[in-house]
Amino acid sequence: MKLESYWLDTVSTFKNGEQGNVSGQYDVAIVGGGFTGLSAAIALAKQGLSVVLLEGGKMVGEASGRNGGQCNAGLAHDYASLAEKIGTDKARAFYHSYIDAVDTVADLVKEEAIDCDFTRNGRLKLAAKPAHYDKLARAHDRLVAEVDPNVRILTAGEVRGEVGTNQFHGGLLQTTSAQMHMGKFGLGLADAAVKYGAKLYENAMVTGIDRLSVDRYQITSNRGSLVANKVFLATGSSAKGPFQYFRRRLVSVGSFIVVTEPLAPELLARLLVEKRSYVTTKNIGNYFRITPDNRLLFGGRARFAMSNPSSDEKSGHILRASMAEVFPELRNVRIDYCWGGLVDMTADRLPRAGQHEGMYYSLGYSGHGVQMSTHMGKVMAKVIMGDEAANPWRELDWPSVPGHFGKPWFLPFVGAYYRFQDLIH
């Protein structure tokens, strides 16, 4: 069992990074080589700006290359509950942002001819309890009436007809959702950015950012320093570097994944007929899908803990047991990959994007980052070019999390709370 990301282990390495020391002067410097930073680099370089991107490790080596491979429409919230809190107009606009985000991914794949196994088979949210189905049915009716005609409600019988298990009591299908190979998509974005003239540096950990004047910054890294007129921070839940302001506003939560050995196509055709992306309705639930080479990827928040080799391995054993509970036929299959990653959560699970001390940023995708990170890279490129209204999250305030200074000491208590909620609801 390899303790590394399947997505990163099954893609060729990025070969077009800059060699030598970081140096020079640029229109825009981007910090972070995930989907957000790479998408922004493409959009800005296509407009003729000089762009440099600094990544502390490998391109898409963190959250962008360590997730569940789902690219889903829809919020991290129940739409009706969010509408009650912030109003129907705002909730509808936020929901449409996620639909637009999946379209952005699809457009990039097509425009840049990225070979990343992109398919749009939809996402099925599976009711783990009968009461959960009733809630999904109400959500379906509200969504169709107000914001998304492309959702369907499936009965328990219909779910059993396409998912080979008796564990679930119906489901909500978002037909416009997609999936792809995260490593291949990330490599395609990086190569496209270079094609348009952006300079990409790997293993260039940013250690300091100094504002020299209104539109002039010096960025220092372990590979040298540069000067840029504008800075865009696309760092995710970075635990290193001069980003304490953001660390106080983001809670990093571990999410863990296992991937099986290649399975017989006829077995997979019986277990997951439509080859969609799947997620369960529990707070501490699971998500799964088939990989391009006929493996089952099965993930979830197995433990409320940070990701490291020991933690990942413990979580892998929990996930294997959960997978066997859902699909008893897979009880004895070999697990080839097990890994974890960090999800950068905001307190209200809505992204944040804007400016801080003159620097632009987009962060806090809260478990829905594949599509929104890619989309917000493109959106923030528009903002940097002067179109502030393009940012759908521009009016959200962002207070720090009380008692949080970067290390989420409270995660075990949060985990206990959600386990109790899953027990009683």
- Residue 85, class by beta-carbon neighbours within 10 Å (0-12 exposed, 13-18 middle, 19+ buried)? exposed
Maximum Cα–Cα distance across the chain: 64
How many angstroms separate the Cα of 97 from the Cα of each of 72, 90, 92, 93, 102? 11, 11, 9, 6, 9
pLDDT along the chain (425 residues), means of 10: 96 97 98 98 98 98 96 92 96 97 98 98 97 97 97 98 96 98 98 98 97 96 98 87 92 91 97 97 90 97 74 91 96 96 91 97 95 98 98 96 74 56 67
Who contacts 196 (Cβ-Cβ below 8 Å, separation ≥6)? 41, 42, 45, 46
Helical packing angle, 79-86 and 88-111, nearest 10°: 130
User: Is residue 190 classed as helix, strand or coil in its secondary structure?
Assistant: helix
Instruction: Look at residue 140 in the predicted model and tell me its pLDDT.
Output: 97
How many angstroms separate the Cα of 29 from the Cα of each of 48, 144, 229, 230, 260? 14, 42, 8, 6, 40
Helix (H) or strand (E) holding 111: helix 88-111
Q: Nearest Cα to 184, choosing from 53, 12, 337, 40?
A: 12
361, 24 contact by CB (below 8 A):
no
Locus of tokens 């109003």? 87
Locus of tokens 């080839």? 336
In whole angstroms, what is the distance from residue 147 CA to residue 100 CA?
A: 13
H helix intervals, 118-226: 130-146, 156-162, 182-195
Q: Nearest Cα to 284, choosing from 416, 407, 165, 170?
A: 416
- Residue 191, class by beta-carbon neighbours within 10 Å (0-12 exposed, 13-18 middle, 19+ buried)? middle
Two tokens, residue 319: 């996930």
Instruction: Look at residue 412 in the predicted model and tell me its pLDDT.
Output: 61
Antiparallel, parallel or unpaired: β 352-356 and 224-233: unpaired
User: Is residue 93 classed as helix, strand or coil in its secondary structure?
Assistant: helix
Q: What is the pTM of this model?
A: 0.95
User: Is residue 22 classed as helix, strand or coil in its secondary structure?
Assistant: strand
